[in-house]
Amino acid sequence: MDQKNKNFKEQFYLILTGIFIASLVASNLIFQKFFTWNFLSIDFELSVGIIAYPVTFLVTDLISELYGQKRANQVVVSGFFASIFTTLLVLISVNAVAVQWSPIDNITFTKVFGLTGPAFFASMVAYLTAQLIDVRIFHFWKRLTKGKHLWLRNNASTMFSQLVDTSVILIILCLAGVIEWERFYSLWMMGWLFKVLVALIDTPIIYGIIYLLKGKIDIAKE
């Protein structure tokens, strides 16, 4: 690989890392708003955070395929610290008293950005567990298929890790009393189904990106 392609490879890695962290941080900031998603004439109630979060799994699969397991794990850890730092900034901002003429008052700001302790803890535990599992399963299938069948490792890793993510975060929130147990199954089913559909949709996207990068970035061997 010549120097030009090496530079492009590193620049693209930084772009993917930026998209990953932005998606992760955004999902943690906007998760308190819920919307209705109609699928097969059934109304599902979902957090808007679920729109941004599946992008993180698309990115880790791309990084795993192009750069290898080690660099994918590095991005996951970077996202963890970025989330902690963002939360600290939010907490400081929540405790800063708004001036009288501020367009957003203290109550409104806290209601929108005031992440609860259990919600943040659940998010971080679910995030680390699911992302690291996603990377590990992706490379398990890559080794097993000897680098073939990208669609299999992309979907198998994402679907299982998203199942873990959805389960862990809902269990912790229910145990903490943030969400009632009677809502557990419906939220679990709706959340995981949405993530599975996103995983199926992002498969052709990954194939398209890999095709466009052919000759510019070599596929990682591990």
Condensed to tens digits (0 to 9), the pLDDT of residues 162-204 reads: 888 888 878 877 887 777 888 888 888 888 887 788 778 888 8
Per-residue pLDDT at 221: 67
Does the structure show a pLDDT above 70 at 1?
Answer: no
17 confidence band (pLDDT: 50, 70, 90): very high
Per-residue pLDDT at 117: 60
Does the structure show a pLDDT above 70 at 118?
Answer: no
Residue 174 to residue 169: CA distance in whole angstroms:
9
Tell me if residue 197 falls in helix, strand or coil: helix
13 confidence band (pLDDT: 50, 70, 90): very high
Average pLDDT value for the chain? 83
Per-residue pLDDT at 115: 63
State percent of the chain over pLDDT 90. 12
Q: Over range 77-90, report the average pLDDT.
A: 88
21 confidence band (pLDDT: 50, 70, 90): very high
Q: Over range 88-99, report the average pLDDT.
A: 88
Contact 20, 56 (CB under 8 A): yes
Q: Over range 22-35, report the average pLDDT.
A: 83
State percent of the chain over pLDDT 70. 94
Residue 217 to residue 70: CA distance in whole angstroms:
17
Per-residue pLDDT at 78: 92
Helix ranges (DSSP H) in 40-183: 49-67, 69-95, 106-113, 117-144, 150-175
Other CB atoms within 10 Å distance of the CB of residue 211: 8
Tell me if residue 35 falls in helix, strand or coil: strand
